[in-house]
Chains A and B, each alone.
Chain A
Amino acid sequence: MNISIQGLNKIYPNGYQALTDVNLEISEGMFGLLGPNGAGKSSLMRILVTLMKPSSGQVFVNGKDASKNRDYVRSMLGYLPQDFSFFSNLRTHEFLDYAARLAGMNSRRKRSQAVDHMLEEVGLFDVRSRKAGKLSGGMKRRLGIAQALINEPKIIIVDEPTTGLDPEERIRFRNLLARLSSQDVIIILSTHIVADISSTCEHMALLNRGQVAFTGSPEELIRQAQNHVWSIYVTEKEYVEVNQKYQVVATVMMNDGWKVTVVGDEVEGYEAEPIAPNLEHAYVYFVEHTMKNSHSYQS
């Protein structure tokens, strides 16, 4: 299984360019798509799930041109969009059954087993007869995940899947995805929550203003941020100044002032100590610091 994205551009009728020459190679396993709001993640996703045509460029799935083989691509897809609401009049299990049949599960017995299994997986079995409109926000999200995963799709594309989930649910969901990624599937996870990626993805891409800012492993991204993350102790007066001058990613109040973590190539005028970056630091470094200078880093 592999997805190859080549020279993808998307310009909307109003002239807004959402994607600019995007090239990505995605193979089995979990692939994280990270980027700020408006970076073009959703546009890319929508092109990948055949909801939208690119303005130019191509997407190949297992070597087949997706735009000419939509049935092939769709027959392998499981998709969870970002803002997902339901037909409030369908019951939880009916909704899942509807999705399962459209996903190609024709045998009633198998479908029924799969629906129950999936409801258990996402922890909705107890509310299987409740109407979708009466589910809580988290439950709805989980039902959305369930419909995307039903009938073992080969390509799972999830857009901001953990938004609205409590920490426990989030961990459960990550584990579920991790388990699936060990099978022969591609999971593309689009998110702006860095922790989702750091804990699950082996590969990732960073998208900013429609361009791929980085592709590689999360470790590689962190490595590139080495020596660009600093810890500074400042007084209250200095704190304001630092905030204006540097990209602050963390602030801790101390007895005699503030301990501030900033991202930047170097820090002048303060006693700064380089610290080991995490993925979030790296993400900020790339988005807020590096990309401002229109640099593009590729591993």
Chain B
Amino acid sequence: MASTFRTIAKYERKILMRSWFFRIFSSLALFVLFVFNMGEISEVGDMRWLYRAIPANMPYANLFLLNISQAIIAVFLSSEFIKRDRKQDTTEVFYVRSMANSTYILAKTWSILSIFLIINVAALAMGLIFNLLALNTWVDWQAYLYYPILISVPTLLFIIGLASLLMSLIRNQALTFLLLLGYILSSLIYLKGTYNYLFDYMAFYLPLFHSEIVGFSNWDTILTLRGMYASFGLGFILLSSIFLRRLPQSRLLNGLSFFLSLGFIAAALLLGNKHLTEYQDSINLPKKMIALNNEFVNHAQIDVESHDIQLKQQKDGFQAVSKLIGLTRSSAQDFVFILNPGLKINAVTENDKPLKFNRNLHLLFIQTDTIIPEGTSVNWTIEYEGTIDENACYPDVDHKVKFEKPDNNLFDIGRNYAFVHPEFMLLTPEAQWYPQPGVGYSDKTPFWYRKDFIDYQLTVKTLPGLNPVSQGQAKQIADNTFTFEREHALSQLSLSIGRYKKSSLQVEDLEFSVFYTEGHNYFESALPDIRDTIPFILKEKLGDFERQTQLKYPFKEFAIVEVPGQFKSYDRTWTSVHQTIQAGMVYLPEKGLYSRYMDFSGYEKRLKRRSRNRNKTPQELQTQVFQSFLSGFFRFKNVNTNSRGNRTEVEETINPYYQFGQFYEMCNNLDSDKWPVLNRIFESYLRIEKTTGTDWVRRSSGSTQNELANMVLQEKSFAEILTLTENLPLIDNVIELKGEMLFSIMQAKAKNDDFRSFVTQVLQENRFKNLDFEDFISTLQAKFGVDLSQDMNKWFNETEMPRYLINTPIAEKVLVGNREMTRVRFIVSNLGEAEGVIKSTLRLEEPIDKLMYLEPGQTKEAFYLSMEKPAGIHFNTLTSGNLPNQLEYTFEGINETGITNARELQVVVDNPIVIKNSGEIIVDNESSGFEFTHYEEVSRLRKWLNPEEEEGFKYKGTRVWRAPLNWTATTGDQFFGEFVRSAFYIKAGDGSKEAKWKIPVSEAGRYDVFYHVYKDDSFGWNRNQKGNYQFIIPHENGTDRPTIELSQDTPSGWTSLGDYEFASDTITITLSNESRLRAVFADAMKLVRMD
């Protein structure tokens, strides 16, 4: 049998390897991999740090890419095999030979499998060569073994098995191929990582990242799923030998094959079921936890003053004793705490006397014998042990978000919220590794949130050879036993234990340290030419940040602590600080693998390649590298854009390493029982990096995130939004907008430029303790006479918004005393239902922000002075019904006025701005009289392939380089509009698509016709661009076809189309898309009565 097996396998392999299809495919696949390696890994290309930092990623990436193509090609080859068998007479000469059906099928399968293994070896060999040649990395030989076993083998077994089985049953290659291709595409496009990657037979979404600290962190899932697919594959292969159209030779072998195939399929089903059950548990636990939190949110709690935690690390978890001292918040007999449900309580005692307790998932209820009055001191000891159930972490984060594959990497690195591993442990507050009073996240009320500054004591006994890292300075007190000394009370505590080494640098009284795991000290040899200046750069950067925020760094140390690459945290509504940030430290994924800036020498090489850096010294380049590395800690948001068909999506997420949290969140808390979100609002105000509502975002996606947030605010009050689960990605923007609005109102009402200094001073005085919001309001009133308590309710609950009309600002020369200055003046009317503040910024070298407060219906004229000549002025309408919500004006010239004694002031004006004068008729694209021809030109296939392509926001980006084929709404401050400045645009074409304005003319007569011209970006790139807009105007004496010629020199805005005699009727003016320009914009049409 073995000989027959080998024979069949040998010759079938020969046949396959000689087929052109296979040769072309394999060469192509290897070529793609070659290009990938050249582009991403080699020194010639991008030298992605992700691959070189953790070298196991190199074979992973190669196999990841190869796997996609081999999965498809295996379908074709295996169905081709069976098809060949169906051709009578061809294989019959072999069928009449003495051999078992299972031998035949298994040998054939092995022949396919073996040639794919040959390709895998070839791909890995190529990857290995690039690996050996790559800069600053090494070869992880084991990865070259486990990745093919985990990725290729189960994928191939499964798809070959499924193809063979389907082909045996359906007996039609085309149909089999179509079905399987459908399955593959469905698994890639629709099913993705659903049910925790249950359908991901290709391991396309399944994270298979192998950390150098903890290895595979989801080993159980990997084994279950890959084992399941391998078992299914083997089962299907054996089963297809049963269905083979050849009379069985041996009943025994046939029976054995049948039972074996059933065995494999049953094993696969069991594994699948186990996986599914675990998945269901993982999504049910958060729901149950939230339900419990909702139920017990008002349960009695204590206020902890000091908390002594003694933790003993074990191989599969830890034991801990937690001693809590605090005061009861209310009179009760039963007090609620939270602790991870994976941790089991052994005992609760008070002065060695056992107390009764109850456990319900993550909630711990400690019961006393009698009712304890409010404010009574308690001293309780809780003994517990176990491990961390990660399903209990981030219960508020939707499980779909948790399984999303990030777009920025080829493969998913994975996500873990805590690590409990014999070699490594990471426990952050999210893991709920120590008891905390209260309940966790509730979706019914924001009052679950509490933050207390507590005097924590931590003693840790590690396993031999490991070191703990936590807040404060570690001190060894016995063998493997450490304690931590710190000066302040903290709001949270985290702990990591590993084979840590420490490298530190003292800059004045601040110690910068790096805790790295063994073998990861690559940074020590980096930046050799600036090592002496690094402390100065650090000091300068920190100093700059302190100056800008007017807040001091509160700790004596700052540590970068290396953690496994899978460590993940999410944006939350109640804080902008991620779990990666802890007091005085940041958890960075191993070797900073995600960021090219952590690849110090590699990044320096890349910089050197740029022509503009050719003449720079190594010191200059290294300084630039170090500055880039530091900038990663001072950038608030990561902005990603994704192009989906004609649409661009902008995704803003909080940078998890942004260090502003150290300056506020880790040391201050604005405590408000009524509005817990105020703490975050406060933080949003204090943070100096705002979400960038930059032009390119709106130009490519159609709106800024803040504008979208404004839309949400128009429909729902802030209080309502905070309890919503949808629109979650916008919550930061809503909070930011509301925060900016609240503080802008405070500042505008305070009429004092020192407002920020006042706020930061108050915070400085209240560090490491809670600052009561009521106290803050009183202090504010005492200092500036502003009573905010009246405004808070409105601010929280109303949906009305201000809507502004702003006239064209004018810049002019004036005299102040005998000094010539530039005065900028403009008028703003607030025609909305709510008060508002407009922030105007004069575009100067050092921009100046001015605030203008407007009551509903109020109009004000502002006069601002500046020494320099401003290039323009920028208006930010904050929360408003304006679209775009930020407007930009550029001053063409500065007029001489001869005005003397000019002053800076804002005055209330009686008459609001009007955009339409009497005798004028305007029909804008927003008016009901505007129509356009519509065509559907999206193919069904594209719709099927992009199921997520939704309609989305009404207004799209203004992308003239890839203009839409249908009239598409877009916004911009250069368009005409009352509150919404918008237009429709289309790719210029043959004139088959038209926009029409139906203009009601109530009085017959002669009218001047104007069109509001918009000149898009293409006039900026292409100075020679010329083209026209073609109109059709029917009038009393016939029909005219006037045009507007556009070139670099022609003006934008209202442009005359000539004067015409109109009857008292509705006239229709048409604009066609025929033009030599790139795109045609349909904005507004104006008729002005002449007589």
Cβ proximity bits A194-212 to B, threshold 8 Å, 1 near / 0 not: 0000000000000000000
- A148–B89 Cα gap in the complex (Å)? 13
Within 8 A of B (CB), among A263-283: none
The segment out of A32-40, A48-56, A227-235 that lies at the interface is A48-56
| With known contacts A70-B247, A81-B88, A85-B87, A90–B15 Cβ distance under 8 A | yes
Within 8 A of A (CB), among B83-139: 84, 87-90, 92-99
Is A16 engaged at the interface, CB distance under 8 Å to the other chain? no
The segment out of A101-109, A170-178, A246-254 that lies at the interface is A101-109
Is B19 engaged at the interface, CB distance under 8 Å to the other chain? yes
CB distance from A76 to the nearest CB of B (A): 9
Cβ proximity bits A45-88 to B, threshold 8 Å, 1 near / 0 not: 00001111100000000000000001100110101111111110
| With known contacts A83-B89, A89-B15, A52–B247 Cβ distance under 8 A | yes
| Chain A neighbourhood of B4, CB < 8 A | 101-102
By beta carbon, the residue of chain A nearest B4 is A102
B14 lies within 8 A of A89 (CB): yes
Please pick, from B84, B89, B96, the residue contacting A77 in the complex, using a CB distance under 8 A: B96
A74 lies within 8 A of B3 (CB): no
Is A125 engaged at the interface, CB distance under 8 Å to the other chain? no
| Chain B neighbourhood of A90, CB < 8 A | 11, 14-15
| With known contacts A74-B96, A77-B97, A101–B7 Cβ distance under 8 A | yes
| Chain A neighbourhood of B95, CB < 8 A | 51
CB distance from B99 to the nearest CB of A (A): 7
| With known contacts A85-B87, A90-B15, A50–B96 Cβ distance under 8 A | yes
Range class of the B interface residue count: 20 to 34
CB distance from A115 to the nearest CB of B (A): 13
| With known contacts A52-B247, A70-B247, A144–B93 Cβ distance under 8 A | yes
Cβ proximity bits B8-22 to A, threshold 8 Å, 1 near / 0 not: 100100110011000
Range class of the A interface residue count: 20 to 34
- A77–B89 Cα gap in the complex (Å)? 15
By beta carbon, the residue of chain A nearest B90 is A85
Within 8 A of B (CB), among A90-138: 90, 94, 98-99, 101-104, 106
B7 lies within 8 A of A94 (CB): no
- Candidate in B14, B87, B93, B247 with the most chain A CB atoms within 10 angstroms: B93
By beta carbon, the residue of chain B nearest A79 is B96
Is B280 engaged at the interface, CB distance under 8 Å to the other chain? no
A75 lies within 8 A of B89 (CB): no
- A82–B89 Cα gap in the complex (Å)? 7
By beta carbon, the residue of chain A nearest B16 is A89
- A217–B90 Cα gap in the complex (Å)? 33
Within 8 A of B (CB), among A167-189: none
By beta carbon, the residue of chain A nearest B97 is A102
Is A147 engaged at the interface, CB distance under 8 Å to the other chain? yes
By beta carbon, the residue of chain B nearest A83 is B89
- A168–B850 Cα gap in the complex (Å)? 108
CB distance from B143 to the nearest CB of A (A): 35
CB distance from A112 to the nearest CB of B (A): 14
Please pick, from A51, A94, A106, the residue contacting B14 in the complex, using a CB distance under 8 A: A94
B3 lies within 8 A of A101 (CB): yes
- A147–B145 Cα gap in the complex (Å)? 42
- A81–B91 Cα gap in the complex (Å)? 10
- A148–B96 Cα gap in the complex (Å)? 10
| With known contacts A71-B250, A89-B14, A89-B15, A84–B90 Cβ distance under 8 A | yes
Please pick, from B7, B18, B97, B99, the residue contacting A89 in the complex, using a CB distance under 8 A: B18
| Chain A neighbourhood of B19, CB < 8 A | 89
| Chain A neighbourhood of B247, CB < 8 A | 50-53, 70
Is B475 engaged at the interface, CB distance under 8 Å to the other chain? no
Within 8 A of A (CB), among B233-257: 246-250
B93 lies within 8 A of A84 (CB): yes
CB distance from A15 to the nearest CB of B (A): 20
B3 lies within 8 A of A148 (CB): no
CB distance from B52 to the nearest CB of A (A): 42
| Chain A neighbourhood of B97, CB < 8 A | 74, 77, 99, 102-103
CB distance from B81 to the nearest CB of A (A): 11
- A148–B3 Cα gap in the complex (Å)? 20
| Chain A neighbourhood of B92, CB < 8 A | 49, 51, 79, 81
| Chain B neighbourhood of A103, CB < 8 A | 97
CB distance from A118 to the nearest CB of B (A): 14
- Candidate in A51, A99, A103 with the most chain B CB atoms within 10 angstroms: A51
A94 lies within 8 A of B98 (CB): no
A74 lies within 8 A of B249 (CB): yes
A75 lies within 8 A of B15 (CB): no
Within 8 A of A (CB), among B1-60: 3-4, 7-8, 11, 14-15, 18-19
Please pick, from B7, B8, B84, B246, the residue contacting A51 in the complex, using a CB distance under 8 A: B246
By beta carbon, the residue of chain A nearest B8 is A102
A94 lies within 8 A of B11 (CB): yes
| With known contacts A77-B96, A102-B4, A85–B89 Cβ distance under 8 A | yes
B93 lies within 8 A of A75 (CB): no
CB distance from A288 to the nearest CB of B (A): 29
- Candidate in A70, A94, A102, A104 with the most chain B CB atoms within 10 angstroms: A102
By beta carbon, the residue of chain B nearest A81 is B89
| Chain B neighbourhood of A148, CB < 8 A | 93
- A48–B93 Cα gap in the complex (Å)? 13
| Chain A neighbourhood of B88, CB < 8 A | 81, 83
By beta carbon, the residue of chain A nearest B20 is A89
| Chain A neighbourhood of B96, CB < 8 A | 49-51, 74, 77, 79
By beta carbon, the residue of chain B nearest A77 is B96
B14 lies within 8 A of A71 (CB): no
- A49–B93 Cα gap in the complex (Å)? 10
- A59–B897 Cα gap in the complex (Å)? 120
- A81–B95 Cα gap in the complex (Å)? 11
By beta carbon, the residue of chain A nearest B17 is A89
| Chain A neighbourhood of B246, CB < 8 A | 51
| Chain B neighbourhood of A74, CB < 8 A | 96-99, 249
CB distance from B248 to the nearest CB of A (A): 7
- A84–B247 Cα gap in the complex (Å)? 20
By beta carbon, the residue of chain A nearest B89 is A81
- A98–B7 Cα gap in the complex (Å)? 7
Please pick, from B15, B93, B99, the residue contacting A81 in the complex, using a CB distance under 8 A: B93
- A94–B18 Cα gap in the complex (Å)? 13
A75 lies within 8 A of B11 (CB): no
B249 lies within 8 A of A84 (CB): no
CB distance from B16 to the nearest CB of A (A): 8
| Chain B neighbourhood of A70, CB < 8 A | 247-249
- A85–B250 Cα gap in the complex (Å)? 28
| Chain A neighbourhood of B18, CB < 8 A | 89
CB distance from A109 to the nearest CB of B (A): 15
| Chain B neighbourhood of A80, CB < 8 A | 93
By beta carbon, the residue of chain B nearest A144 is B93
CB distance from A201 to the nearest CB of B (A): 22
Within 8 A of A (CB), among B970-1025: none
CB distance from A135 to the nearest CB of B (A): 15
CB distance from A153 to the nearest CB of B (A): 10
By beta carbon, the residue of chain B nearest A52 is B247
- A99–B18 Cα gap in the complex (Å)? 19
CB distance from B388 to the nearest CB of A (A): 57
Interface residues of B (CB under 8 A from A): 3-4, 7-8, 11, 14-15, 18-19, 84, 87-90, 92-99, 246-250
The 4 closest A-B pairs by CB, nearest first: A89-B18, A81-B89, A74-B98, A102-B97
Some 30 contacts from A to B, beta carbons below 8 A apart, are A51-B92, A51-B96, A52-B247, A70-B247, A70-B249, A71-B98, A71-B249, A71-B250, A74-B96, A74-B97, A81-B89, A81-B92, A85-B89, A86-B90, A87-B84, A87-B90, A89-B14, A89-B15, A89-B18, A89-B19, A90-B14, A98-B7, A101-B3, A102-B7, A102-B8, A102-B97, A104-B98, A144-B93, A147-B93, A148-B93
Beyond A84-B89, A106-B3, 13 extra complex contacts between A and B, CB < 8 Å: A51-B92, A70-B248, A74-B99, A77-B96, A81-B89, A83-B88, A85-B87, A89-B14, A94-B11, A98-B7, A98-B94, A102-B7, A148-B93
